[in-house]
Amino acid sequence: MSPNPLRNIPSVNDLLESPPLRKLVDGLSHNVVVSTVRTVLDEVREEVQTAASEMTLPSVSDLAERIARRIAQREVPLLRPVINATGILLHTGLGRSPLAEEAIEEMAAVARDYASLELDLATGERSRRILAVEELLKELTGAEAALVVNNNAGATMLTLSALAAGREVIVSRGQLIEIGGSYRLPDVMAASGVVLREVGTTNKTRLEDYARAIGERTAALMLVHPSNFVVVGFSAAVGLAELVGLGRREKLPVIHDIGSGALLNFSRFGFHGEPVARESIVAGADIAMFSGDKLLGGPQCGIVVGRKALVEQLERHPIARALRVGKLTLAALAATLRLYRDSEKAQLAIPLLRLLSTSVENLKNRAERLAPQMAAAGVVEQAEVVAGVTYLGGGSVPTQELSTWCVALKPAGISVDRLAAALRSGTPSVVGRVQQDRLLLDLRSVLPRQDTQLIVALEALCKAENGKRKAEYE
């Protein structure tokens, strides 16, 4: 009878006594180490039992190394900072807009301590959390009232549920948008309990189309900014002012989903046709809603502004409670909005606006400075400075190009995909875009303070690659 191999597997205590793990128990946490030891021992038992032939058991020190590596991996957060060298300024996969220092400071301050979230410090009475941003939003948009929820999808669901559940909302067929796979307006409307009443055609919708569809069951008229596409050629859409005229005559609220939520006119950055929140209110929208982390350059949230009576109706709906934002979001948003009180200040302090207004000469100079340093890295055969075009992303101004400069890296000894992957998973992490056989690092979305970090990332990568080659050779 052959001896049971499971009996030769080291015990939890044997492993905890091994030097690498003893150090981790002291430095990190007894519980974390013990639970990882158990998990890895379970895996080894499984391997032994399913092995086709007799296998040699790993030694105590091999196992301890394996466990220590596992613990080290888990200690690195999966959500971590990334240098965005894709050139796409509002990259949803990379968390859209970075925050202004002012926003970070205010957020950190209320994160560290308790905060006056729902307490009026003057009277000691209970207050409402929206007060942190309400006056600023009213001032910046001209609206009577404001509400902030988790994101614009949430703002849309709340608005529709509170104002129109069980009834019809009229929308043009040209505006039934999809924003990334998980947001499709018809589905959001259905989930809000609203009946979608489509009018017009894909390319042309007229005011009479809306007027004819109005009936007993109509609850609202809705206008949606078709953020990520444009219809050109034989096309017509109804403007907000016209729709507001119809809404007033029929006593129906007009809901305007303006999407990216610019607080200032983006024509100063060369982008035309992006709706500005204040203009929507001035034109008479009863409710206007937009994202906080697109063109506004703030934290993820959905902002609703509009008539007081309607916003109050939204506040009272149970979904408002389910979608409410926490103190971190409110602090970051308040600080960002405060910067907008002076548009010059906003342009300097809000990273998104700063990146947008960086001159092409500046990008070119930086690319020229970086290229020779990058070419000196072992994994790079050639680093060339190239001009290019990029887009804002995040579902805004889809056809308007933005000039940019990139460093195009041709790898040495490894494939371009391996270079891209290694830079992504390195420290610092850098995400570029692969174009044919080169990796482009686009400076349009790189903050100047990150330039040297790009070099650090490449040098770290060379070290890691050398280590791997050495290991393969041995």
Q: What is the DSSP string of 164-179?
A: HTTSEEEEEGGG--BS
Pairing relationship of beta strands 402-411 and 287-291 according to DSSP bridges: unpaired
CB 231 to ligand PLP: min, Å? 15
Residue 282 beta carbon to ligand PLP: minimum distance, rounded to whole angstroms: 19
Which is closer to ligand PLP, CB of 188 or CB of 408?
A: 188
| Closer to ligand PLP by Cβ: residue 291 or 336 | 291
**DSSP calls for 266-317:** GGGGT--S--BHHHHHHTT-SEEEEESSSTT-S-S-EEEEE-HHHHHHHHHS
Least distance to ligand PLP, CB of residue 90, Å? 9
In the complex, least distance from residue 330 CB atom to ligand PLP, rounded to whole angstroms: 16
Give least dist CB 393 to ligand PLP, A. 11
Q: Give the integer Cα–Cα distance in Å for 67 and 142.
A: 59
- Closest contact distance (angstroms) between CB of 129 and ligand PLP is 19
In the complex, the smallest distance separating the C-beta of residue 43 from ligand PLP, rounded to whole angstroms, is 40
What the block records as the tokens of 97 is: 């807009």
Could you count the other beta carbons within 10 Å of the beta carbon of residue 198? 16
Rounded-to-integer distance, Cα 186 and Cα 146, Å: 25
Produce one character per residue of 267-291: b if its CB has 16 or more CB atoms within 10 Å, e if not: eebebeebbbbbbbbebebbbbbbb
Q: Tell me the C-alpha to C-alpha distance, in Å, between residue 471 and each of 86, 459, 461.
A: 32, 18, 15
As a whole number of angstroms, the distance between CA 59 and CA 118 comes to: 58
Closest distance to ligand PLP from the beta carbon of 298 (Å): 11
Q: How far is the CB of 181 from ligand PLP (least distance, A)?
A: 12
Residue number with CB closer to ligand PLP (151 or 205): 151
**Edge-to-edge, what's the strand order for the sheet holding 195-199?**
145-149, 302-306, 287-291, 254-259, 218-224, 168-172, 195-199
**Closer to ligand PLP at the Cβ: 292 or 432?**
292
Taking the complex as a whole, the smallest distance from the CB of residue 362 to ligand PLP amounts, in Å, to 29
Any idea what DSSP says for residue 262? B
Pick the closer one to ligand PLP by CB: 134 or 257: 257
Strands 82-84 and 145-149, how do they pair? Answer: unpaired
Closest to ligand PLP by CB, 25 or 237: 237
Beta carbons of 253 and 311 less than 8 angstroms apart: no
180 vs 467 by CB, closer to ligand PLP: 180
**Could you identify the residue written with the tokens 């559940």?**
165
Nearer to ligand PLP, 152 or 205 (CB): 152
Q: 310 with 160: CB under 8 angstroms?
A: no
Q: H-type helices in 340-400, by residue range?
A: 343-349, 351-357, 360-375
- Cα-Cα-Cα-Cα dihedral of 304, 310, 315, 320, to 10°? -60
Q: Among residues 39 and 235, whose Cβ is nearest to ligand PLP? A: 235
Contact positions toward ligand PLP, by CB under 6 A?
A: 151-153, 179, 183, 224-225, 227, 257, 259-260, 291, 302, 395
Choice between 311 and 325, CB closer to ligand PLP: 325
**Closer Cβ to ligand PLP, 179 or 189, answer by number:** 179
How far is Cα 66 from Cα 334, in angstroms, rounded to an integer? 47
Of 374, 331, 336, residue with least CA distance to 354: 336
Query: In the bound complex, what is the minimum distance in angstroms from residue 93's beta carbon to ligand PLP?
Result: 12
The residue nearest ligand PLP at its CB is 259
User: CA 126 → CA 121, 134, 149, 241, 330, distances in Å?
Assistant: 9, 16, 20, 39, 17
